[in-house]
Amino acid sequence: MKSTKELARELGLIRKRTLSTSGINLRKGSAANDQPFKYLIVIDFESTCWQDGKFRTQEIIEFPAVLLNTETGEIESEQVDNGIPINLCLKRFSHWLEGLRREKGVVLPGTHGDRTINTTSVTWSDWDLGVCLQYECKRKQILRPPQLGSWIDLRATYRKFYDRKPNGLNGALQDVGITFEGREHSDP
């Protein structure tokens, strides 16, 4: 059974610490180190979509995000906003990102000009950022933060790496010997 760190390394999400002969850690671009990101921001929205057995327009009700250090596999920061309007949530999220930039040097695509990008967002499918947030922002006439304009789809990454369609997130985790921790969805 593989650990989460071992799987993440296999998928290229965590780089191994490797020392060169001079004792300096290898950097991005090195042949032995193909992990371009120091951090991942893992996002998994919860939304409304069914009421009284009928589909209704989706609205984000939880906006959880964690900062994962790809070198250590540890979560270094976390934000969960729920129960506030999406425009305020996005402002808090942007402030959280700005604090991470100041404290840890986190730089996402769409921010801070030409600086080296050392972080990206990841989601399980394109639904969170490519569908749900996009449509909610459009419906409410809110600008989507530029930091949320690109991401890595972990479901597509799984499919490409293992050459098979995952049976949901839980199925993918079970395939690689990882037990899901926490709760999958908000309670109704």
Q: Whose structure tokens read 């991401």?
A: 151
Q: What is the pLDDT of residue 12?
A: 53
Q: What is the CATH code of the structural domain delimited by 36-174?
A: 3.30.420.10
- Answer yes or no: 6 catalytic: no
Model pTM?
0.75
51 to 55, 58, 131, 133: CA distances (angstroms): 7, 11, 20, 20
- Annotated catalytic residue: which of 6, 46, 76, 136? 46
What is the rounded distance in angstroms from the CA atom of residue 109 to the CA atom of residue 152? 12
Q: What is the pLDDT of residue 185?
A: 62
Q: What is the pLDDT of residue 177?
A: 85
Q: What is the pLDDT of residue 29?
A: 40
Torsion of CA 175, 179, 181, 187, to 10 degrees: 60
- Answer yes or no: 185 catalytic: yes
pLDDT averages per 10-residue partition of the chain, 188 residues: 52 42 32 73 86 75 92 88 87 93 88 75 93 93 92 94 90 85 61
Say if residue 83 is exposed, middle or buried (CB neighbours under 10 Å; 0-12, 13-18, 19+): exposed
Tell me the sheet residues that pair with 50.
Answer: 55
- Annotated catalytic residue: which of 62, 74, 112, 185? 185
Listed in sequence order, the DSSP H helices in the chain are 4-10, 86-104, 133-140, 154-162, 168-175
Q: Give the CA radius of gyration of the chain.
A: 18
